[in-house]
Structure 1
């Protein structure tokens, strides 16, 4: 259920034109909602706890909503809020299944699901919702999974955690006889063991290191991503905020000593959105317990705003020619 107390802010009056802010265009998501975008909160710390990280991300969805509320709408006509799904009983797997059901419902009602985490265990729940919605279409299509993250999150464990979601996706694809297409931007060499790099190679994961992204021209990065997007039928984008430098995102489970500049993450996010193939997205690991001046929540809200915009909204960056 939507918490209206989170959606407050100033109301401007200006004869020059549109003064709406997001708190003025949001409404509760229910069975009658159609089209637009729907925010889903995944208020869960269990995956981070199991992965020995800093807990507190369960408060992330509401912190991001508070920062979103005051942002100018800028072409966003309407947003639904589906409230929070919680995991207070350590039953992570059941919480992921509930998230999958909510993502599937939003897609069935022709809306775009944007899930706010929570730890990065949110990714497996979103993925399950996508595959439940697509069904047999997956066998004739190409689902591209794009992850902005300092970590592969390909750990193998008896228990699911924030470190296992993409290994779980790979296992699901293998069992279903579907190719696993995983593209990861921002991998930290010092944040992943040689064993994880070896597993990524075995699974055919395509990735770029954080150090490579910093020194690669943004337009070249865009061209490379456009090639990936062109080959895809459907795209699922997941953003772990620890891909950013710690000075931009201090409030995460594992702050990055290096990280990828925000402008590059935002630009690639915009390209994925503008492809017309983005079926769902999530933003993970916002941890208000360790945030500074709500900076991480503000960055998350900015990226969420990019994903909520209509396709004709664009960044002020040179046009890419393919």
Structure 2
């Protein structure tokens, strides 16, 4: 594969400092070397420049923290991702908080008629300013990509929506707000909460996910939030939720996606080295990327 890495040192979509160092931590954990060892052609495009923002709620819009700076960064990211896909390369985006998914999807979706999305996350990220308890935009990217929310977020890249609800699969959810639960039911979004993962097993979850997306999409974006994993395996995240996906379950998921050959773009987000233990979470992210891009145990 021809893979282009884009770092997005974004920490404005939430309030805990340190996640802007995520791309550096992932590079330090050896992502380029790991993927090159699998015979992929790796191009590291460096980091998107993130503007500064006042870390206070905007009194005119208290439910959208740092809206202007987040929107501007996502416009830059959308352009960078668009250019990578136009050149026939695979965009691999390193975060940064999950608000960057708005820009990644804006850059990718224009190249597909029916883009599928696997949202591997403890959270649904389906809030809008009306439903968000915090006003943190990292809890809104999937809603924005569906065309729901503030125009500054929904219209990144100049078009909306980026994805259809029937082309989304959420895996690993275990912390959903009431507004998100309602939206999932309203829109008929396919979701495997930790209850389903425990009940069915990861093999069945991934077999169903792959079959579901294969028949209705012409490309699939993987948006993997490290807080989808249990904090035991990924402690360096801003919003850890106990009872998550295991290290081995996550490797199996990535291995099955590699075998299915359906993933056309990916991002790994919410690595926060300030909250981490000896870069364990970044190392986990790199190991999962290895499995996604074809690394096998034998």
TM-score by length of 1: 0.76
Q: 2:3 aligns with which of 32, 37, 55?
A: 37
Which residues in structure 2 correspond to 1:192-207 (within 5 Å)?
192-207=176-191
Does the 8 Å CA contact 2:203/2:252 hold for their aligned counterparts?
A: no
1:213-241 Cα shifts (integer Å, max 9, x gaps): 13433332232123123212110110000
For residue 249 of structure 2, what is the aligned residue in structure 1?
264
Q: 2:104 aligns with which of 84, 109, 126?
A: 126
For residue 62 of structure 2, what is the aligned residue in structure 1?
none
Q: Give distance in 2, aligned partners of 1:151 and 1:177.
A: 20
Q: Give distance in 2, aligned partners of 1:184 and 1:177.
A: 16
1:233 aligns with 2:211: no
1:286 aligns with 2:271: yes
Question: Are the structure 2 counterparts of residues 75 and 88 from structure 1 closer, same or farther at C-alpha, using a change threshold of 3 Å?
Answer: same
For residue 148 of structure 1, what is the aligned residue in structure 2?
120
TM-score by length of 2: 0.82
Q: CA deviation at 1:314?
A: 4.2
- The alignment of Structure 1 onto Structure 2 pairs a total of residues equal to 267
Q: Give distance in 1, aligned partners of 2:96 and 2:268.
A: 8
For residue 78 of structure 1, what is the aligned residue in structure 2?
41
Q: Give distance in 1, aligned partners of 2:187 and 2:232.
A: 33
SS of the residue aligned with 1:46? Answer: coil
Q: CA deviation at 1:124?
A: 0.8
Q: 1:99 aligns with which of 50, 54, 77?
A: 77
Name structure 1 gaps, 5 residues minimum.
1-34, 317-322
For residue 306 of structure 1, what is the aligned residue in structure 2?
291
Question: Are the structure 2 counterparts of residues 71 and 235 from structure 1 closer, same or farther at C-alpha, using a change threshold of 3 Å?
Answer: closer
Question: Are the structure 2 counterparts of residues 178 and 216 from structure 1 closer, same or farther at C-alpha, using a change threshold of 3 Å?
Answer: closer
Q: CA deviation at 1:175?
A: 5.2
1:36-66 Cα shifts (integer Å, max 9, x gaps): 10110010100123xxxx2211000010011
Name structure 2 gaps, 5 residues minimum.
54-68, 148-153
Question: Are the structure 2 counterparts of residues 63 and 175 from structure 1 closer, same or farther at C-alpha, using a change threshold of 3 Å?
Answer: closer
SS of the residue aligned with 1:48? Answer: coil
Q: Give distance in 2, aligned partners of 1:276 and 1:223.
A: 13
Q: CA deviation at 1:104?
A: 0.7
Q: CA deviation at 1:196?
A: 1.6
Question: Are the structure 2 counterparts of residues 77 and 223 from structure 1 closer, same or farther at C-alpha, using a change threshold of 3 Å?
Answer: closer
For residue 18 of structure 2, what is the aligned residue in structure 1?
56
Q: Give distance in 2, aligned partners of 1:57 and 1:176.
A: 27
Question: Are the structure 2 counterparts of residues 257 and 86 from structure 1 closer, same or farther at C-alpha, using a change threshold of 3 Å?
Answer: same
For residue 185 of structure 1, what is the aligned residue in structure 2?
171
Question: Are the structure 2 counterparts of residues 60 and 109 from structure 1 closer, same or farther at C-alpha, using a change threshold of 3 Å?
Answer: same
Q: CA deviation at 1:70?
A: 5.6
Which residues in structure 2 correspond to 1:15-34 (within 5 Å)?
none
Q: CA deviation at 1:267?
A: 2.0
Question: Are the structure 2 counterparts of residues 76 and 45 from structure 1 closer, same or farther at C-alpha, using a change threshold of 3 Å?
Answer: same
Q: CA deviation at 1:278?
A: 1.9
